[in-house]
């Protein structure tokens, strides 16, 4: 019992309720630390790429118009660098998708914790804090390395500072950076998803070869049903064989053979139809341990 309950609790802990004015809870899913790191790395690479491109352009422009009139080029380069460093995140997150390219790639977006619209002041606050979360430790460490004068103690202090901000998102249940905390924002995972075909619609043979008794259908609950759905969608032959074997044994058809995939589809179809009918009568069985009230 405790295993499945723990899994459900773990999944629920990643959800945050946001009730729309229409009264529906959107139950947003917070982004994983891994997704956020991936997004940040992509953004970092994009920024470095832009900076390199800008530098090459500047060099090319200098070569074209001559070094003595290079002041304009230098001004543009410096402003470009400044805007890239401070403006990339802010401008991207103020757009309609509220996400940088890296965040889009990971299916993330920034939202206000209160569910209000995401305003510029929040975006600015969360991104200016990157200055002490990321740039300060980086410039500190590189300065130390370049000078060669950084004592062990100073490096250690720098490391502790970096660590404090780096691990900050892991020590609060909302996975907020310091910037998120000050801006009142969350980063949620809202990937754009195409609607996959309904398993029931396409693949079930017109006349099922397998029929099940009510007792055989009442073995499992919603959790198992949705796990079965995932197995069928992923369509890994080994997984399908294992699951089919387990279910056959469980419902007492251990000695019956046939196509595993077809068997699972028929079983999925039958059990889902039965459980959905149960839902209409207000019966929802969470998992196989749930005996119902």
Partner 1 sequence: MAGPSDSRRFRAAREGEWRRLEEILTTAEKKSVKALDDEELLALPILYRGALSSLSVARETSLDLELITYLEGLCARAYFFVYGVRTSAGSRLAAFFARDWPLAIQSLWRETLVSLAITLIGALAGYLLVVNDPEWYASFVSPDLAAGRDFSASAEFLRQQLYDSPGADGLSFFATFLFTHNSQIAIMCFALGFAFGVPTLMLLIQNGAMLGAILALYFSRGLGLEMGGWLIIHGSTEMFAIILAGAAGFRIGWSVVFPGEETRLDAATAAGRSSALAMAGVVAMLACAGMLEGIGRQIVISDMARYAIGLIMLALWLAYFYLPRRIDV
Residues 269-288 that bind partner 1 (CB under 8 A): 269-270, 272-273, 275-277, 279-280
Among 3, 22, 147, 234, binds partner 1 (CB under 8 A): 22
The site map against partner 1 for 37-66 (x = CB under 8 A) is: ------------------------------
Strand partners, 109: 188
Stated as kind and residue range, the H or E segment containing 3 is helix 2-13
**Residues 6+ positions from 151 with CB-CB distance below 8 Å:** none
**Residue number, 194 or 291, with CB nearest to partner 1:** 194
Q: Binding of partner 1 at residue 253 (CB under 8 A)?
A: no
| Site residues (CB under 8 A) for partner 1, limited to 157-216 | 178, 181-184, 188, 190-196, 198-201, 204, 208, 211-212
Q: Is 49 exposed, middle or buried (0-12, 13-18, 19+ CB in 10 A)?
A: exposed
Euclidean distance between CA atoms 5 and 3, whole angstroms = 5
Closest CA to 180 of 38, 36, 84: 36
Q: Closest approach of Cβ 196 to partner 1, in Å?
A: 5
Q: How many residues bind to partner 1 according to rule CB under 8 A?
A: 75
Among 30, 39, 92, 129, binds partner 1 (CB under 8 A): 129
| Site residues (CB under 8 A) for partner 1, limited to 89-128 | 94, 96-98, 109, 111, 113, 117-122, 124-126, 128
Q: Are 189 and 30 in contact (CB under 8 A)?
A: yes
**Residue number, 131 or 259, with CB nearest to partner 1:** 131
Euclidean distance between CA atoms 58 and 56, whole angstroms = 5
Rg (CA), the chain: 27
Q: Closest approach of Cβ 111 to partner 1, in Å?
A: 7
Among 50, 61, 62, 81, binds partner 1 (CB under 8 A): 81
* Phi and psi angles of residue 87, each rounded to the nearest 5 degrees, phi first: -100, -20
Stretch that binds partner 1, among 57-65, 70-78, 145-153, 239-247 (CB under 8 A): 70-78
**Residues 6+ positions from 163 with CB-CB distance below 8 Å:** none
Q: Closest approach of Cβ 267 to partner 1, in Å?
A: 11
Cα 288 off chain centre by: 29
Q: Closest approach of Cβ 40 to partner 1, in Å?
A: 17
Task: Please report, for residues 80, 106, 216, the alpha-carbon distance to residue 100 in angstroms, rounded to integers and kept in the order given.
Answer: 18, 10, 50
Q: Closest approach of Cβ 50 to partner 1, in Å?
A: 16
| Site residues (CB under 8 A) for partner 1, limited to 137-166 | none
Among 27, 209, 246, 249, binds partner 1 (CB under 8 A): 27
């Amino acid at each position: 019992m405790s295993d499945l309950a723990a899994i459900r609790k773990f999944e629920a802990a990643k959800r945050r309720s946001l009730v729309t004015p229409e009264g529906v809870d959107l139950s947003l899913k917070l982004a994983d630390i891994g997704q956020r790191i991936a997004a940040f790395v992509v953004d970092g690479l994009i920024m470095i790429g832009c900076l390199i491109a800008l530098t090459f352009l500047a060099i090319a422009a200098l070569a074209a118009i001559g070094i003595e009139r290079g002041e304009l080029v230098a001004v543009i380069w410096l402003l470009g660098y400044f805007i890239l460093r401070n403006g990339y995140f802010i401008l991207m997150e103020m757009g309609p998708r509220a996400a940088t390219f890296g965040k889009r790639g990971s299916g993330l977006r920034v939202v206000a914790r209160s569910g209000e619209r995401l305003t510029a002041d929040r975006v600015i606050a969360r991104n200016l804090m990157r200055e002490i979360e990321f740039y300060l430790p980086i410039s500190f460490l590189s300065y130390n390395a370049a000078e060669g004068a950084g004592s062990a103690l100073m490096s250690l202090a720098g490391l502790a500072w970096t660590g404090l901000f780096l691990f900050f998102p892991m020590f609060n249940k909302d996975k907020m950076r310091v910037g998120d905390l000050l801006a009142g924002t969350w980063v949620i995972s809202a990937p754009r998803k195409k609607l996959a075909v309904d398993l029931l619609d396409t693949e079930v043979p017109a006349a099922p070869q397998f029929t099940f008794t009510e007792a055989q259908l009442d073995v499992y609950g919603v959790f198992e049903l949705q796990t079965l759905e995932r197995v069928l969608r992923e369509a890994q032959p080994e997984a399908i064989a294992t699951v089919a074997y387990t279910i056959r044994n469980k419902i007492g058809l251990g000695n019956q053979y046939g196509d595993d995939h077809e068997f699972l589809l028929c079983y999925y179809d039958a059990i889902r139809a039965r459980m959905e009918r149960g839902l209409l009568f207000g019966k929802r069985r969470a998992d196989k341990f749930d005996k119902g009230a």
